[in-house]
Chains A and B, each alone.
Chain A
């Protein structure tokens, strides 16, 4: 059981970190989701792995599972869900305004060419149809 959970958290985190470091916002949002799943699992586990025990006081129960991490993870799930929705909307806004969904700032951010170059979205070394 411990091994299974540990592998699940580890692989979710690894996939999440890999995706967060990608250049396109879609992959990054997916990566953030994976990371938050990994953390939610991790939070549940911080109360130790206990199977089939009640979290709150109950007659006849010999032992209990820790209820606090479950409350924490509920809060964390709600917050990360809301944040994911928000980042999707903002990434969509940036895509519609800027014409591409790259995460990094264009060079204009540092050089001060005030308007985007004519000819739409293409940038050097950038394949419009390329994968994430």
Chain B
């Protein structure tokens, strides 16, 4: 038993209370410890990825309890990939939060950040359905705190909606787990796979109800239409770095759908066909509504939020195939869309920090400071989000279209993907030209304010509840913020350049996912006293 498997949960679980209890009043110490903890998580995630790349499924039995009775953590290629992705995104976005000064707009930013990472890492690692619920709650409760970080009326209102929507989702999750437990008598995922396969075919009514409820819950987390209503206001009103971290939160829902509907409900069963039949139309509707939202939004935050929504739609088209080619494409696109959505949210926040009054509304305002470099970043991120060559979004969309070539609805799927890409290009270029070009009609750029401030002066926690964004004058290090946003764009470039190795990894991951037998073997058979 490899104890490193629990480290991605234990490290933030220790660091977060430490920050709250021991260094509440020392922001510099908080920053150092929190960034160091995220770096440590990245290192651990990379080590675990190297471990999982061998193809073996590693199991960690908490308290060394035997499998269906105790909670297990499972590490496979998909879980390792998600851990690495989370750690990379979290590190870059955290550096942005430090550089832009967001982390001192309210209290406990870094502690909540670590709790959030603990929940996300745990959700990716766990092999127990009820434990998945618990980790969902951990990540949600931290996200509630992060979402309303900095306060302000509209942010709190959006936060209340977000909390209530997700509380209803959690209630549904419990109902789904109860139903599945009543039907099978177990909640361990590998054991569920065995029990579900043993159920007589005409006795699956209760199980099907449970499976559909479960899919609804994950669809709420992934923000699939028609369960997406929490997303636009939440992401548009959340602080920029928090919205960027939330780019991985919708992927938790996607991950859970992939996990359950490849491992627990085996392929070609009635349950999986039912899931695929519901999921594909929902994915197409998500894509259409997301891109129409990009086109129709009058607020830059909402443009980014709807772009994130649309990327979930594209991703789910791949997942809904539940076949190896679809999963390969989906895993690739998952990496891309996380980086792209994160980059877009950070760049929107960069723009907000530089515009007068922090306004993100799509109205011409005087040109912004460092307009050239911010515009270039926005342009690159928009290319990535819309899926144009040469960035990785193009390859992802191409892979998904190729994977659906054999599908029944191939013409509809291709038409939706291509037409909505056009909508996204139009919407994003309209937003970009309003912010960057029409600005010049209004006169010359104001003198940048950040340069005049003495950077050695200690910064007081500045709380301006009426202001949506942290403006440039509050920024601790504008260069760090710009670099962090650029790093995510560079990540998309790297994903394109190293497309071959990443695609090989995705292929190996999908191959591992479609065969549930090794999971059952690793969790249930290879332990003391197994049959």
CB distance from B160 to the nearest CB of A (A): 5
* Residue ID in chain B nearest A115 by CB atoms: B466
Decide: A68 and B181 in contact? CB cutoff 8 A. yes
Interface range, B side: 35 or more
Total interface residues on A, using CB and 8 Å? 40
Decide: B175 and A112 in contact? CB cutoff 8 A. no
Decide: A20 and B164 in contact? CB cutoff 8 A. yes
Q: Which of B160, B171, B181 meets A94, CB within 8 Å?
A: B160
Distance A115 CA – B466 CA, assembled complex (angstroms): 8
Decide: A87 and B156 in contact? CB cutoff 8 A. no
Distance A42 CA – B171 CA, assembled complex (angstroms): 11
CB of B391 within 8 A of chain A?
no
Q: Which of A50-58, A102-110, A123-131 contacts B (4 or more CB under 8 A)?
A: A102-110
Distance A62 CA – B144 CA, assembled complex (angstroms): 48
Given contacts A36-B171, A98-B156, contact A103 B161 (CB under 8 A): yes
Decide: A43 and B178 in contact? CB cutoff 8 A. yes
Q: Which of A42, A87, A112, A116 meets B363, CB within 8 Å?
A: A112
Decide: A43 and B170 in contact? CB cutoff 8 A. no
Q: Which of B6-14, B145-153, B270-278, B416-424 contacts A (4 or more CB under 8 A)?
A: B145-153
Q: Which residues of B contact A111 (CB under 8 A)?
A: 298
* Residue ID in chain A nearest B166 by CB atoms: A83
CB of A5 within 8 A of chain B?
no
CB of A10 within 8 A of chain B?
no
Distance A39 CA – B177 CA, assembled complex (angstroms): 10
* Residue ID in chain A nearest B298 by CB atoms: A112
Q: Which of B154, B156, B181 meets A46, CB within 8 Å?
A: B181
Distance A20 CA – B164 CA, assembled complex (angstroms): 9
Q: Which residues of A contact B466 (CB under 8 A)?
A: 115
CB of B50 within 8 A of chain A?
no
Distance A39 CA – B169 CA, assembled complex (angstroms): 12
Distance A115 CA – B179 CA, assembled complex (angstroms): 47
Q: Which of B137, B160, B170 meets A91, CB within 8 Å?
A: B160
Decide: B175 and A90 in contact? CB cutoff 8 A. no
Decide: A69 and B181 in contact? CB cutoff 8 A. yes
Q: Which residues of A contact B (CB under 8 A)?
A: 20, 25, 28, 32, 35-36, 39, 42-43, 45-47, 68-69, 72, 75-76, 79-80, 82-83, 86-87, 90-91, 93-94, 97-98, 103, 105-106, 108-112, 114-116
